[in-house]
Structure 1
Amino acid sequence: MVVLNRIYTRTGDDGTTALGSGERRPKYDLRIAAYGTVDETNAAIGIARLHLAARADLDAMLGKVQNDLFDLGADLAVPERQDKAERLRLLASQVERLEHDIDTVNAALGPLTSFVLPGGTAAAAHLHLARTICRRAERLVVELASRPDEPVGGPAIKYLNRLSDFLFVASRAANDDGARDVLWEPGKHR
């Protein structure tokens, strides 16, 4: 259980922050940027959920995703090499659940004939924003994992990759199952 009695500690006033292992790193460190961008993805999803009153199914799926993203942040906050203790790590089963949700949502959608522009409903636009932030988080986590001294668990990268796919199909579902999708028309305004 997490207990937060005191919100400010002043320990970050020197431009560093603590990993879950206690190690201090500069606030611009790639690992900090990676899990900070995961947190940003989570916040964007929270905004999208405010616009999903008519889609309780999507809202419930996104609620699970938000919890998973906190799990992912906790995973990234403690590099595997640093701490041999039992830590919260993202699991393959969370990736599998997300794949199931993608298949479920996508089954109700018509086929696409063009790329989709962010828009349509407010929920869809916010889900597209969350998708692009998620892609940035994925790029940062992949870069982090490419460093020999910065291990990242395999499910973390897979989860972010699937999450951006889920956010795409969820945005289409939020657009009345694709009926309100705004399609790209190449070269239309030349």
Structure 2
Amino acid sequence: MSIYTKGGDKGSTSLYDGQRVKKNSLRVNTYGTFDELNANVSLADKFCVDQRNVKLLQHVEYRMFFVQGEIATQSFSKFKKNSKVITEDDVHFLEKVIDDYSASLPKVTSFILPGSSVAGAQLHVCRTVCRRAERLLVAFMHSNYVRPELEKYVNRLSDFFYIVARSEDYAYRIKQVEDEVIKRYKKVVEEKSNGC
């Protein structure tokens, strides 16, 4: 089966519920930006050194399909009939991660550079793409109904990416220190074995 349908050759695309709209519509631009975000999240989880963060990001990646699907459907009832939706539980999940990580990480007293590790830097990319997607969602809400749960979830997402980025940077710094200690220890052992 071919992956191309030719249905969009004249600048329109099908929504989840079969309605056709222009590819440059605000609806398509909004869910397309969340799609871009999700691709960036997938890249971020490949760079993470902390396996907890890999699992957290993969959890969010699946939820992003629900976010995109709901925005890509004009009829919420049709979407809900065929898919899971973002709920208050999903919002609370993000809030718990944010609160737990905020309590366990060193306090921040000034602005920080966006990522001292590869994973941290990529998660800051996620944070900024998420903010752009949220701005589009807010514009979209001026003429379309968006459930409060979905709006809150999107708003918490950028804070989630920020705190997971900090977690990855912290794990990276700890690993750097551990690597340096091991390197120095090996050097001392080697010098002793050589009679130095």
Superposition TM-score, scaled by structure 2 size: 0.82
Residues 35/87 of structure 1: CA separation in 2 closer, same or farther (3 Å cut): same
SS in 1 for 2:9: helix
Listed one character per residue, the Cα deviations across residues 11-46 of structure 1 (whole Å, up to 9, x for unaligned) are 011111111111111101001011101111111111
Tell me whether 1:35 sits opposite 2:38 in the alignment: no
Alpha-carbon distance, 1:6 to partner: 3.8
Equivalent pairs, count: 173
Listed one character per residue, the Cα deviations across residues 64-86 of structure 1 (whole Å, up to 9, x for unaligned) are 00000011111111124684872
- Pick the aligned partner of 2:13 from 1, 13, 17: 17
SS in 1 for 2:16: coil
- Pick the aligned partner of 2:133 from 104, 112, 137: 137
- Pick the aligned partner of 1:174 from 164, 168, 171: 168
Structure label with greater radius of gyration: 2
SS in 2 for 1:111: coil
Listed one character per residue, the Cα deviations across residues 146-166 of structure 1 (whole Å, up to 9, x for unaligned) are 11xx22122221111101000
Alignment of 1:76-115 (within 5 A): 76-80=71-75, 83=78, 86-88=81-83, 89-115=85-111
Percent identity, aligned pairs only? 36
Gaps of 5+ in 1: 181-190
Match of 2:151 in 1: 157
Match of 2:193 in 1: none
4+ aligned runs moved over 6 Å, structure 1:
none
8 Å Cα contact 1:75/1:87 also seen in 2: no
Residues 129/25 of structure 1: CA separation in 2 closer, same or farther (3 Å cut): same
**Which amino acid in the other structure matches residue 81 of structure 2?**
E
**Which amino acid in the other structure matches residue 156 of structure 2?**
R
Task: Measure, in 2, the Cα distance between the counterparts of 1:129 and 1:117.
Answer: 12
Tell me whether 1:56 sits opposite 2:56 in the alignment: no
Alpha-carbon distance, 1:105 to partner: 2.0
Superposition TM-score, scaled by structure 1 size: 0.84
**Which amino acid in the other structure matches residue 176 of structure 1?**
Y
Tell me whether 1:71 sits opposite 2:66 in the alignment: yes
Alpha-carbon distance, 1:93 to partner: 1.2
